Amino acid sequence: MTATAPATGEADTPLLEVDDLHVEFRTSRGTVRAVNGLSYTLHAGETLALLGESGSGKSVAAQAVMGLLPTPPARITRGAVRLHGRDLLQLPDSEHRKLRGTKIAMVFQDALSALNPVLTVGTQLSEMFRVHRGLRRKEARTKAIELMDRVRIPAAARRADDYPHQFSGGMRQRVMIAMALALDPDIVIADEPTTALDVTVQAQIMRLLAELQQETAMGLLLITHDLGVVASVADRITVMYAGRAVEESDAPPLYTAPAHPYTLGLLNSVPRLDRPGQRLHPIPGTPPDLADPPTGCAFHPRCPQTQTRCTHEIPALLPVGPPPGKRRSACHFTEEVLNRGGQR
């Protein structure tokens, strides 16, 4: 998990600060508010997980950080994204592009779609060094093979001449990780890096990311809906629902005593190895339509403890203790949820 601690004086300085981020899409059906006031920080050597169901705004928030949102129809209406204190949203597109790969990089969800199908893997990796580092073709190929070795791709020198479709899903994801690490970025965003992989390969990919993080002290932003993946690697977790953060916590307390009914519902939907034969309790209903969201708390139509207040008043994200300042939850009835979570 957490890598070697930064030098004294640097530990409290975040690599990345997302402050009150709002992203909306103008569509024929109206305005879809995909991200609605998201804030978080990421420090060197830390793994922060953005967790939630599909449609919660996780990937849109990451694309906003990377400057990859399609505009139009997407539009960032408010907020700041600070990399080493520099607001990326205030930079011209040309300046933002220069930071992609060199300071902040992304591992995309679908490696087969992200890789160019008509170029060999070695060529695609070499291009990073030729374009950004000015290396000659032979030097760039040597660097590409070294990267493939680094992410544990067997017979790297030979496989550099293979095309993406000749690799398994897990090996393609390793290639994507190699591309993200090529220019030694300070931050890597991994968007659902284990989707469509079997459980064994998932574990290998997450272990690889953790090992590489320990080597470099990079910040890792992990975007996922998989509670199992998060449990093994995350230092802190931000749970998102309907474009908002509904719970923030260090990883262990979130699993032992969730402070928001949505988090509790997610945990109750997952089978536990220590309780064979346990009955699962899926969250009823479906995520809200963000073009026409519910009034009040967006989770109230699916929440088992909804009360009148929930239907018209949006709960603030407030501190939950103990310990003070380490956790926050956006629920009017957090104490009741904590009690229920402790009895899971």
Q: Which residue has the tokens 């990451």?
A: 62
- Alpha-carbon span 166 to 75, nearest angstrom: 38
Q: How high is the mean pLDDT of the chain?
A: 89
Q: What are phi and psi of 295, to 5 degrees?
A: -75, 160
Name every residue whose Cβ is closer than 8 Å to that of residue 101 and which is 6 or more positions away in sequence. Answer: 128, 132, 180, 182, 183, 185
Q: How large is the average pLDDT for residues 261-280?
A: 82
Alpha carbon distance, N-terminus to C-terminus of the chain:
26
Which helix H or strand E contains 74, and what residues bound it? strand 74-83
- 320-338 pLDDT, tens digit per residue, is 876 656 799 999 999 888 8
Q: How large is the average pLDDT for residues 77-98?
A: 93
Going by their DSSP bridges, the two strands 47-51 and 30-42 should be labelled as unpaired
Q: What is the pLDDT of residue 200?
A: 83
Q: What is this structure's pTM?
A: 0.89
Q: Which residue has the tokens 């070499």?
A: 126
Judged against a pLDDT cut of 50, whether residue 87 lies above it is answered with: yes
Q: How large is the average pLDDT for residues 74-88?
A: 95
Q: What is the pLDDT of residue 110?
A: 82
Task: Place 2 in a pLDDT band, splitting at 50, 70 and 90.
Answer: very low
Judged against a pLDDT cut of 70, whether residue 316 lies above it is answered with: yes
Q: What is the pLDDT of residue 3?
A: 45
- CATH superfamily, domain 16-107+187-271+281-342, is P-loop containing nucleotide triphosphate hydrolases (3.40.50.300)
The C-alpha angle 185, 186, 189, rounded to 5 degrees, equals: 80
Residues of the chain with pLDDT > 90, as a percent, come to 65
Q: What is the pLDDT of residue 341?
A: 61
Q: How large is the average pLDDT for residues 46-51?
A: 95
Judged against a pLDDT cut of 80, whether residue 12 lies above it is answered with: no
- More confident: 338 or 242: 242
Where are the chain's structural domains? Answer: 16-107+187-271+281-342
Q: How large is the average pLDDT for residues 268-292?
A: 83
- More confident: 281 or 341: 281
Contact (CB, 8 A) for 258 and 336: no
Q: How large is the average pLDDT for residues 195-220?
A: 86
Contact (CB, 8 A) for 164 and 112: yes
Q: What is the pLDDT of residue 325?
A: 62
Q: How large is the average pLDDT for residues 40-67?
A: 94
- Alpha-carbon span 140 to 134, nearest angstrom: 9
Contact (CB, 8 A) for 296 and 310: yes
Task: Place 203 in a pLDDT band, splitting at 50, 70 and 90.
Answer: confident
Does residue 166 sit in helix, strand or coil? Answer: helix
Exposure letters 301-315 (e unless 16+ CB within 10 A, then b): ebbeebeeebeeeeb
- 96-147 pLDDT, tens digit per residue, is 988 988 999 999 888 888 899 999 999 999 999 999 899 999 999 999 999 9
